[in-house]
Structure 1
Amino acid sequence: MENDENELGSVLDVGCGTGAFLAYVGDERSECRREGIEIDPERAQQSRERNPGVPIHEGDATEALASTSGLFDLITLWDVFEHVPAPAELLEKLAGRLAPGGLIHILTIHERSLMPALGRLSYSLSGGRLAYPIRRTHEPHHLTFFTLEGIEIAVDRAGLRIRDRWFDRLLRGRMDGHPLVTALTALLLRLENAFGNGLFLNLILEAKREPSPIIDRDDSGQLPHGVDLASSSYRFCVSPAGA
């Protein structure tokens, strides 16, 4: 990748779920070596069925990483970091699996967003009945929420640097829970858009070196409307800088 940004030779999707991103990469680059890690057995099997011949390693991300092969041009962790018992340890191990010029894309919940507070409040008010957008911010298996400052420390200790970052305010899904929760959600989403940094923190990481940002944003600092995560991550590896 360092010598040819149009070449994507290998991808590791940590927390690959049902394998949607791995399938996407396979459709775009059939020659790309792909591997996935998934802790949920049912989803891991679905990912295998969706990606025949692609190694899907089942288990805890930190432990399962030892079963993967070689180095990777792109490593993705979407909605994974907050579930890991020792995220700093995982990040250090992932740094050791980056190919020269490789990138890590992390998507995690931002602690200083208004939405985690809403999740805690609505959980109490609804007796644990949470609609999808709020449930995503307050699930019992979320072990850690990160501030940008906190994650910067872990990134630095892993020998990485932040190549680019952005916040994502968009919540998709139906707010079909308790009526009060729905009303609070609508109100706080408006406040989030007006004052918040955004619920989801996106980070593109690389080995420490001179910066070379390639994301195009609008004036608000957000990605253009309609850009999905899979396309965004893939673009880091297949588009020339500044394209």
Structure 2
Amino acid sequence: MAIIVQSPDGQTLMASQVVNSKMKKHLAKFTSASQGKSEVLHSDWMKKSYLVSKSPIIKKGKLLGNVYMFLSTKQIQKMVFDFSSVFIVLVILTFLITIFATASIAKNLTLPIRAITSETKKERNEFFAAVTHELRTPLTFIKGYTDIASRESVSEGERVKYLSIIRDESARLTHLMDDMMTLVQFEAHNFSIKKSSVLIANLMDDLMKKVAGILNQKNIHLPLVLVEARILVSKELPH
């Protein structure tokens, strides 16, 4: 801070440093109409070199002079510049941290979705493999019993039985195709679940009728014994 003491007519009586041209410009802005009053000259600290204040020296009601204090704006400008630089750096760091955090959160949020998607593809592949296997079974029965029924050595009664099995397996094939259509409805979220009771004894009996012809051709005897709703199956090979 620089201090300048002037007489009422503007003559410099004392100064803490050499009065430069910039200080003189500031002093010229204080008018004679303000003699005897304290003033602060709020200059533009971003463009001007000083902030200036004036305090009168009065003794027994008589003005003896004025004291002017000059505060350099360089320190203020430097402080603001440093603060602006720090603020800009903080904004950039905050922006980078936000991007990193957003990317990390998005990755963590989508990780379960990707896992579910991957697991769904695995389950779907297993499902289609199972469906392929299930489709192969009735097709094998249909082909096998068609060959057997077409033989001249087969009696009319056996031929009727084999044709009945072919018809049942065709119905089963149709049922499997319906199941695949149900899968499409599952994916479209447009399905309903219906429960139905199945008698294990009837199911096993139908199965035995289907495989009996093929087993007889291979001389295999497979008896079925049902005890208390439990299935005991034994396989007897010819000696």
TM-score by length of 2: 0.21
Higher relative contact order (CA 8 A, sep 6+): 1
- Specify the structure having the higher radius of gyration (Cα): 2
TM-score by length of 1: 0.21
